[in-house]
Amino acid sequence: LYFPVARALERLVQPQNPIDALQLVSVLGGAVGAGLAYLVARGLGARRAAALGAALLLALSPAWWFFSTAIEVYGLHVACVALAALVTLH
């Protein structure tokens, strides 16, 4: 899934360096994963402040920060897992 998404983003954004599309997949995957984690927490009944705090703690953790900024597949995997959790919850 990583390379098809990177190719689609490359066509959409048209960066000067093709590696930037790979970087963008990781960054967007981490950001979407954090946002979906907020929605999952809200769906489980957490208040807004608690869900936001949990999502911020998750997004600012060293492992999340690393895998969302390095060219790795894990940022996209986290977004897919968070989406599956949200769909399952609702």
Q: What is the pLDDT of residues 42-78, one digit of tens each?
A: 999 999 999 999 999 999 999 998 988 899 899 899 9
Residue 14 backbone class (left: φ over 0; alpha: ψ -120 to 50; beta: rest) = left
Place of tokens 């597949």: 73
Instruction: Kindly report, residue by residue over 11-33, the tens digit of the pLDDT.
Output: 999 888 889 999 999 999 999 99
User: So what's the pLDDT on residue 18?
Assistant: 83
CA angle 13, 82, 10 (to 5 degrees): 15
- Give the pLDDT confidence score for residue 47 in this predicted structure: 97
